[in-house]
Chains A and B, each alone.
Chain A
């Protein structure tokens, strides 16, 4: 009797817990789903309040076509965003793998000072040094170029990614390295052939953070990219949403937001454990 009652109570608890969980999940996912679904409505329907969120008069890509008619179209800012994000990933991986290896495996003058200086830049908000960054870029001929923006983004990634990579290299046992050196491996083959396969989870983590950081960054791109042909997606979409290209077309905004969100969501779902790893590393240390 008592056993049956307690089991019943346990099942009741489980139902309560799972309904809470499912309602909360719906609340968190709804805005994303609402946008992605609404973006597939025909233009006329997309202007109406999104009730219900899914298209009722047929699925259409009209909103994406409309979006493509504003300013320089959809493809140019998308290309700019892709270029900036991919270059930020590539450069920050190269620079922080080299630096992480250097800080982990060598002794040289000023080593600790340099490491502390790079790490402590995380304390200083980049928002407060944007004006001089603008002037520096002008001075070295990179102002209003995507390459200049990439340099800024890579620099902003460095404290986190060098810290990650230094720890990853520290975790590789010295014996492996010594064995390879016996076999006659020099520094470069050591790094590429022996070390890289062992630290690749760290590389995936920093690459993911670099991509998301660059893809989503707003203020620096807004300030540094003054030419419309250099706009990244967030800047182009904000210009559109502020009515800079005439009346605001909310269907186009939904389509644009979908284009901005989907790569982040897909990458996160594929590489979730690397993302959480990065957060943990940041949280524990």
Chain B
């Protein structure tokens, strides 16, 4: 960070007195933004670290307990289970999103009639919120008034109405289906920008050399959009690690607390049990994971796009 400041703050010969004064005004322009970020981000961030070293109930005095909260996390099997579930969910949903989004991106990337319509319809679910999407699907997944169970029953596929949300496997895969429906269009657009940045003559040259579509995909498309792939991957992974809305709204962490995610567990500890200090320590763990992920992202993205 020091190098950046050093490079871009050269000692410029002052031409006018007015010009020198005008520069300070810049600070005034950015002041509101800085104030907001300090009060609602930097201060809370420091407080999280501070609170994680305390026993901090909602009411009453808080007391310093050192690293006790962190030792408690080590023994908190339910948190580790939540973290394990979050990891499992992240892997499954990311693979599922890419499996749908990549073919879609290839499909809409080539200009043809109706491409605009296809692109817009695939993207529509991405602009509605996760809460709306979850509420919508909690209805579609409902055993009595929803769509899937009654439809399967009417078609004679199941002998009686099957409750999709009562056991882990169908509930989990229902959430995966909902998230893929909601997010695939978003990932598709990101991947499309990568595809469009590949020069078309490269593909043509390979085609003349007799490379089949699969070989072209492996040798040209994938390596040339490495950066875009990394970005889409990181966005999907970071978003999934922080998943909360869909599990809270559709499943309430059930069946039998098997779908509690990391954020859900922190939410429960902080705002249901009101163990604010312990929740802060859990938050620190989550924060370290996400920041580590962002740093990996920065490294991946810094590598220039192109053929090695």
Contact = CB atoms under 8 A, between A and B. Distances in A.
A136 to B, nearest CB: 6
B229 to A, nearest CB: 11
A28 B121 contact: yes
A216 B190 contact: no
Interface stretch (A13-21, A66-74, A172-180, A198-206): A13-21
B118 A21 contact: yes
Interface residues of B, number: 94
Interface string A271-285: 010011001100110
A98 interface: yes
B237 to A, nearest CB: 12
Interface string B9-37: 10010000000001111111110111011
A262 to B, nearest CB: 9
A29 B122 CA distance: 8
Interface residues of A, number: 93
Contacts of A279: 186, 189-190, 193
A212 B128 CA distance: 8
A128 B48 contact: yes
Given A155-B37, A279-B190, A128 B137 contact: no
Contacts, number: 272
A96 interface: yes
A112 interface: yes
Contact of A111 (B26, B28, B124, B146): B26
A102 B131 contact: no
A34 interface: yes
Contacts of A217: 129
Interface string B271-297: 100001001100110110011001000
Contacts of B144: 49
B252 A128 contact: no
A112 B9 contact: yes
Given A99-B32, A125-B242, A261 B283 contact: no
A124 B9 contact: no
Interface in B15-66: 22-30, 32-34, 36-37, 39-45, 47-48, 51
A185 interface: no
A242 B127 contact: no
B117 interface: yes
A253 B131 CA distance: 12
A273 B135 CA distance: 28
B171 interface: no
Nearest to B116: A272
Interface in A218-273: 218-219, 223, 234, 237-238, 241-242, 250, 253-254, 256-257, 260-261, 264-265, 267-269, 272
What 6 A-B pairs come out closest when comparing CB atoms? A106-B26, A216-B129, A102-B29, A49-B150, A132-B47, A132-B44
28 contacts: A17-B112, A49-B146, A49-B151, A98-B30, A102-B26, A106-B22, A106-B27, A108-B27, A114-B30, A118-B37, A124-B45, A124-B290, A125-B242, A129-B48, A132-B48, A136-B39, A140-B39, A158-B33, A217-B129, A218-B245, A219-B245, A237-B135, A250-B139, A250-B145, A257-B136, A264-B129, A267-B127, A283-B231
